[in-house]
């Protein structure tokens, strides 16, 4: 039951992120999104008594819910990003688009979920959140929200990994975290050039 | 039956209190000296004693409309879900009836705004029409989806069913419906992201613009209607989305119910302090989000069964 | 063994932090050392477990790694004189090498991995480090393309991970935590209970890889990026990074062949023919060397994928090797070819004086003619083998006519590309004015290395080694 609740929160925070027009609010929603993901990992980990999953849950909360939003926020202050990020897709189009994507992906994932044992809904939700984060990535011109979109894709894949397979091997999950940190470093280096001007048009 | 009537009376009585509570909470959070919790009652009695002046241009509608604004809301009060387990309730009234009655009340409010023939009244009415047209589909969708989860189309029956069998397996769609309904609660009651009930700034006001020309008893009735509307929405939210604590004995159950109402009021006030009012043309975006969530709740329920 | 493999990259990484302009020479020298542990690996008995079940050096991966390390030497050689052709600060070299070291580590992990997860991690590491290599060129275009690469690469790599998770989910019921192991998965492929899930996962993974290689919907992004970055980076892209991706394709499709050969065949064929169709026309419109070579790289990658799925691993691997040597060589020669301007194709092969100059233009024309598979080139043989095996596959499946049609169509597109390359070659050699161009020893050396490596592919011993892989 609680798992369902947090899955709902996960999707809800992602949808809200799509409609957000302010950078810091977007970071907040991303952090909330990752927090629910971490709690989900903890809940499922305790349910199936999987030590690796509990560890990944804790690492998720520390890295994705706290560290990455914090770093991104400090980057954005250091390099003076444009904080008003208006999506390219207008809201009244997005209002029609988001339910369309959801219905499409829910039906799309049905053949997949039919083959899974248990947790079928979570798989559908994670696939639809994958598409939603792609939309988040596409609807913004600025770089910073695109990065958030990329990180959200990572999140939804992570959700898929947790729910579809009851957790990937520990080694792989830690490797994914390592790559994520590497991505943050590269992003930081790229931003060094991204001045006040660059953030607007790049 | 006694519990039923008692609940209605209590709800009517605490209706002004809830709005004053929000107001004083906001003042407290803004480091002002909070207004008294009884301010709502004081305003009411003050307005009752005031002379009622009606504009020369106004037709007879101004004389009837305040009562017609209040009466549909009072009718809804009788259809609200029960507060106590085993209490009497009207089971057959569905989402359409309640939305329709609310729309009727809003319709007369808009007429009232137009009738005074002032520029502000017309502006307020058109804005109100704009907002309520967007609220209704989301409202029907949301209550519908909750009724689906509860297994009954009647709102009160749905609430009873929810309190007996909480939809654990449909937590996700339940949550979406809750988010959607909360946004609607803010929108219909003219709370801050949509409308600011406290200012008379011509660019922003919606509700206040319509009742600028109303005075005395009529104003008292309209303000009562506003508070009753808030109570209706809050109690619907509470009994549909926080359906706990009905099984206790009558006084405790009612006390729990009132505490939940205040909790909702607290959240509303807290949000108001932390948010800025939206521009009028951004309002459809927020209500659009409500529609998205309502729809999402329905399809999650139907397709995924989650 | 693993320490030995990683040692050069670690040394490069540490050296790159020394704040001195003289450090470039030792950096290049250490890069040459990359080939030593790989050669040692090549001589060892296969399969050799480097790190338990996770990193295993089998024949395929050693071959790919060896080819990549040869390319790395060539690139390091050409890097020595980069500043004589383009404007680049000495500082940028060190940063390039710093990320090159990370790139190489990621590459070792992804090529040698016997584990889907580690393959993905290595690939992601390599991708992220290339993002910064693009940025060593301090122009706005390069900066924009670096972001572009970051974002498209991230999407592609997320698709790959998505597919890997689905494959893992399909195989977990029978294999448990080991379901990410390529060799185990291959052994137990028949037992997978939900083949559809595997097929879906495979299709998504392949889609991600194809996007990353610049296949059908994303034809131009790779060439734009290679245009914006320095030419050695483009050489790294085409010579090394693509090999890391294609080896993943080899491994995944091997499993898919066991599960549902028809689906794999139709999917890859439809995709690659579509890609070659579009790319051939894009090549026809190409106006500068880097875009031309990059697009032709996409074409060859499509051919490799096609040969591999039509059951001719020998042809695919030979083609892969030849492409991995020829394409970086061409990219590196653009440094000299474009010294008169980026978009000046006419006369690019004229005006070379002395022994170095004439050797240079001779080699470049050899490469150009080899890349369009004129007979002595290994590509000629691989295409011959590849098309032959395509016909033989079709014979078994009663779709001979369709296959012959497809081959004819392919030949048509290849003829278009052939025509364009010949035209460009003629324009390079016989048109335009004769401008003085300088060729430096190190570039020439790297071109010679590539020429020797390409030529050695047709040696009988090497051919039999490649045949032994398949």
Touching partners of A (3+ C-beta pairs < 8 Å): B, C
For an interface test with A, which of B138, B170, B172, B288 has the most A Cβ atoms less than 10 Å from its Cβ?
Answer: B172
Q: Which residue has the higher pLDDT, C415 or C434?
A: C415
> Are C282 and C220 within 8 A, CB to CB?
yes
pLDDT of res. A199: 44
The stretch B100-120 carries a mean pLDDT of: 89
Q: Using a CB–CB cutoff of 8 Å, tell me whether A168 touches chain C.
A: yes
Categorize the per-residue pLDDT at B72 as very low, low, confident or very high, splitting at 50, 70 and 90: very high
Q: How confident is the model at residue A118 (pLDDT cuts 50, 70, 90)?
A: low
Distance CA C386, CA C308 (A): 8
Q: What is the DSSP letter of B303?
A: I
Q: Which of A182, A176, A179 lies closest to A52 in space, CA to CA? A: A176
Q: Is the pLDDT of residue A198 over 50?
A: no
Q: Which residue of B has its CA nearest to A101?
A: B296
Average pLDDT of chain B?
Answer: 88
pLDDT at residue A1 greater than cutoff 80: no
The pLDDT assigned to A201 comes to 45
**Which pLDDT score, from 0 to 100, does residue C430 have?**
84
pLDDT digits (tens, 9 = 90+) for A35-75: 999 998 999 888 888 888 888 899 999 998 999 999 889 88
- Predicted pLDDT of residue A193: 63
Q: Which residue of A has its CA nearest to C177?
A: A169
State yes or no: pLDDT of B111 exceeds 50. yes
pLDDT in tens, B184-220: 999 888 888 888 877 777 777 888 888 888 888 999 9
Q: How close does chain C come to A88, measured CA to CA in Å? A: 17
Best residue of B181, B289, B294 to probe chain A, by most A CBs closer than 10 Å? B289
**Residue B198 confidence (pLDDT):** 77
Q: Give the minimum alpha-carbon distance from C259 to chain A in angstroms, rounded to a whole number.
A: 16
The three-point CA angle B1-B4-B5 to 5° equals 90
Does residue A31 register a pLDDT over 90?
Answer: yes
Q: Are B150 and B158 in contact (CB under 8 A)?
A: yes
Q: Which residues of C touch A172 (CB under 8 A)?
A: 115, 117-118, 120-121, 180
Which residues are within 8 A (CB) of B44 and not within 5 positions of it... i.e. 6 or more apart?
B16, B220, B223, B224
Confidence grade of residue C340 (pLDDT, cut at 50, 70, 90) = confident
Interchain proximity B168–A106, CB inside 8 Å: no
Residues of A in contact with C170 (CB under 8 A): 115
Dump pLDDT digits (tens) for C232-275.
888 888 888 888 899 999 989 888 888 888 888 888 888 889 99
B185-194, B211-220, B242-251, C45-54: range with lowest mean pLDDT: C45-54
Of the pLDDT bands very low, low, confident and very high (cuts 50, 70, 90), residue C393 is confident
Using alpha carbons, list the distances in angstroms from residue B41 to A103, B23, B38, B223, C137.
Answer: 49, 13, 5, 11, 73
pLDDT at B22: 92
pLDDT of amino acid B235: 92
Domain spans in chain C, listed from the N-terminal domain onward: 260-470
At residue C103, the 3 state secondary structure works out as helix
ipTM of the complex: 0.90
Would you call A95 and B169 a contact, using CB atoms and an 8 Å cutoff?
no
pLDDT at B105 over 90: yes
Q: How far is Cα A202 from Cα C226, in angstroms, rounded to an integer? A: 18
Which pLDDT score, from 0 to 100, does residue A197 have? 44
Looking at beta carbons, which residues of chain C come within 8 Å of A138?
A: none
Q: Which of A7, A15, A107 sits opposite B172 (nearest CB)?
A: A7
Q: Which of A134, A172, A183 shows the shortest C-beta gap to C180?
A: A172
Q: Among B64-73, B78-87, C393-402, name the most confident range.
A: B64-73
For residue A189, the chain C residues in CB contact (below 8 A) are 132, 135
Chain A CB contacts of C147 below 8 Å: 143, 190, 202
Bigger pLDDT: B300 vs C24: B300
What pLDDT is attached to residue A117?
65
Residue B70 in this model has a pLDDT that exceeds 90: yes
Instruction: Write the DSSP symbol of residue C285.
Output: T
Distance, CA of C42 to CA of B51 (rounded, Å): 102
Q: What is the pLDDT of residues B264-290, one digit of tens each?
A: 999 999 998 888 888 888 888 888 889
The residue among A92, A12, A8, A103 whose CA lies nearest residue B288 is A92
**Which pLDDT tens digit goes with each residue over C154-183?**
889 889 998 998 888 888 888 877 888 888
Mean pLDDT confidence for B107-115: 91
All partners of chain B with 3 or more CB pairs under 8 angstroms: A
Quickly tell me which residue has 């409308």 as its tokens. Answer: B195
Q: What is the pTM of this model?
A: 0.88
Whether the per-residue pLDDT at C97 is higher than 70: the answer is yes
| Mean pLDDT of the A186-202 span | 61
Contact C245, C252 (CB under 8 A): no
Helix C313-337 to helix C378-396 angle (10° resolution) is 150
**Is the pLDDT confidence value at A23 over 80?**
yes
Residue A200 banded pLDDT, cuts 50, 70, 90: very low
Cα–Cα dist B14/B21, whole Å: 10
DSSP letters along B209-221, please?
HHTTT--HHHHHH
Predicted local confidence at residue A30, as pLDDT: 93
Mean pLDDT value across chain C: 85
pLDDT tens digit sequence for C116-130: 889 999 998 998 888
State mean pLDDT over B167-181: 88
Would the pLDDT of B107 be above 90?
A: yes
Residue C20 to chain A, least CA–CA distance (Å): 21
């Amino acid at each position: 039951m609680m798992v369902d609740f947090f899955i709902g929160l996960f999707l809800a925070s992602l949808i809200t992120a799509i409609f957000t027009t302010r950078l810091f609010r977007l970071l907040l929603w991303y952090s909330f999104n990752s927090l629910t993901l971490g709690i989900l990992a903890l809940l499922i980990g305790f349910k199936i008594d999987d030590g690796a999953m509990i560890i990944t849950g804790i690492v998720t909360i520390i890295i994705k819910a706290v560290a990455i939003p914090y770093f991104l926020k400090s980057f954005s202050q250091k390099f003076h990003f444009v904080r008003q990020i208006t999506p390219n897709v207008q809201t009244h189009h997005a209002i029609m688009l988001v339910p369309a994507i959801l219905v499409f992906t829910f039906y799309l994932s049905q053949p997949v979920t039919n083959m899974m044992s248990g947790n079928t809904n979570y798989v559908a939700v994670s696939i639809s959140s994958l598409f939603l984060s792609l939309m988040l990535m596409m609807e913004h011109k600025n770089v910073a929200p695109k990065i958030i979109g990329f990180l959200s894709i990572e999140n939804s894949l992570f959700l898929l990994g947790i729910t579809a397979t009851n957790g990937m091997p520990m080694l792989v999950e830690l490797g994914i975290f390592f790559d994520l940190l590497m991505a943050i470093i590269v992003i930081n280096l790229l931003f060094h050039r991204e001045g006040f001007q660059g953030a607007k048009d790049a | 039956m006694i519990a039923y009537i008692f609940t209605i009376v209590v709800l009517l009585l605490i209706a002004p209190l809830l709005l004053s509570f929000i107001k004083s909470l906001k003042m407290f959070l803004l480091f002002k000296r909070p207004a008294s919790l009884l301010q709502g009652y004081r305003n009411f009695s003050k307005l009752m004693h005031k002379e009622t002046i009606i504009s020369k241009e106004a037709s007879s509608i101004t004389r009837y409309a305040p009562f017609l604004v209040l009466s549909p809301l009072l009718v809804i009060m009788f259809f609200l879900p029960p507060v106590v387990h085993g209490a009497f309730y009207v089971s057959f009234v569905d989402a359409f009836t309640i939305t329709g009655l609310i729309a009727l009340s809003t319709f007369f409010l808009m007429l009232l705004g137009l009738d005074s023939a002032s520029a502000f009244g017309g502006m307020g009415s058109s804005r109100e029409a704009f907002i309520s047209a967007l609220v209704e589909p989301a409202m029907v969708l949301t209550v519908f989806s909750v009724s689906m989860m509860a297994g009954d189309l009647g709102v009160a029956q749905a609430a009873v069913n929810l309190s007996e069998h909480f939809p654990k397996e449909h937590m996700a769609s339940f949550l979406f419906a809750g988010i959607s309904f909360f946004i609607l609660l803010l929108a219909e009651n003219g709370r801050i992201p949509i409308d600011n009930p406290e200012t008379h700034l011509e660019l922003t006001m919606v509700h206040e613009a319509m009742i600028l020309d109303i005075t005395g008893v009529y104003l008292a009735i309209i303000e009562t209607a506003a508070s009753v509307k808030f109570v209706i929405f809050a109690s619907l939210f509470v009994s549909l989305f926080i359906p706990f604590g009905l099984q206790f004995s009558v006084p405790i159950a009612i006390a729990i119910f009132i505490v939940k109402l205040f909790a909702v009021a607290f959240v509303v006030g807290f949000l108001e302090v932390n948010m800025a009012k939206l521009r009028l043309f951004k309002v459809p975006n927020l209500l659009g989000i409500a529609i998205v969530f309502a729809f999402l709740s329905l399809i999650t329920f139907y397709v995924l069964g989650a | 063994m693993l320490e030995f493999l990683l040692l050069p990259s670690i040394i490069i990484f540490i050296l790159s932090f020394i704040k001195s302009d003289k450090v470039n020479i030792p950096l290049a020298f250490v890069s040459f050392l990359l080939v030593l542990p790989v050669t040692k690996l090549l001589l060892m008995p296969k399969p050799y477990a480097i790190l338990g079940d996770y990193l295993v050096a089998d024949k395929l991966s050693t071959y790919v790694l060896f080819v990549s390390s040869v390319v790395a030497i060539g690139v390091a050689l050409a890097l020595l004189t980069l500043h004589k052709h383009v404007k680049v600060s000495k500082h940028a070299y060190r940063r390039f090498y710093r990320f090159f070291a990370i790139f190489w580590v990621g590459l070792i992990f992804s090529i040698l991995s016997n584990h889907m997860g580690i393959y993905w991690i290595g690939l992601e590491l390599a991708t992220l480090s290339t993002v910064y290599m693009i940025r060593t060129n301090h122009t706005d275009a390069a900066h924009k393309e670096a972001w572009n690469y970051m974002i498209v690469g991230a999407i592609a790599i997320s698709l790959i991970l998505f597919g890997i998770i689905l494959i893992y989910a399909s195989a977990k019921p029978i294999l448990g935590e080991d379901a990410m192991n390529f060799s185990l998965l291959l052994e137990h492929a028949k037992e997978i209970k939900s083949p559809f899930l595997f097929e879906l996962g495979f299709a998504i993974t392949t889609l991600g890889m194809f996007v990353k290689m610049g296949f059908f919907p994303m034809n131009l992004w790779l060439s734009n990026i290679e245009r914006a970055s320095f030419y050695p980076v483009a050489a790294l892209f085409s010579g090394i990074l693509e090999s890391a991706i294609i080896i993943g394709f080899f491994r995944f499709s091997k499993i898919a062949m066991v599960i549902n050969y028809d689906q794999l065949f139709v999917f890859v064929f439809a995709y690659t023919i579509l890609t070659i169709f579009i790319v051939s026309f894009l090549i026809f419109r190409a106006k500068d060397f880097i875009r031309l070579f990059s697009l032709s790289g996409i074409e060859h990658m499509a051919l490799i994928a096609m040969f591999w799925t039509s059951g001719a691993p020998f042809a695919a691997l030979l083609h892969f090797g030849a492409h991995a040597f020829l394409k970086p060589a061409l990219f590196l020669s653009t440094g000299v070819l474009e010294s008169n301007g980026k978009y000046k194709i006419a006369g690019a092969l004229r005006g070379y004086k002395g022994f170095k100059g004439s050797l240079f233009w001779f080699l470049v024309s050899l490469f150009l003619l080899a890349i369009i598979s004129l007979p002595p080139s290994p590509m000629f043989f691989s295409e011959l083998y590849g098309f032959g095996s395509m016909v033989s596959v079709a014979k078994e499946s009663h779709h001979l006519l369709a296959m012959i049609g497809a081959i004819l169509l392919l030949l048509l597109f290849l003829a278009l590309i052939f025509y364009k390359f010949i035209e460009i070659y003629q324009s390079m050699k016989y048109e335009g004015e004769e401008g003085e161009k300088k060729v430096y020893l190190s570039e020439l050396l790297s071109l010679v290395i590539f020429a020797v490596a390409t030529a050695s592919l047709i040696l009988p011993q090497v051919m039999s080694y490649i045949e032994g892989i398949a």
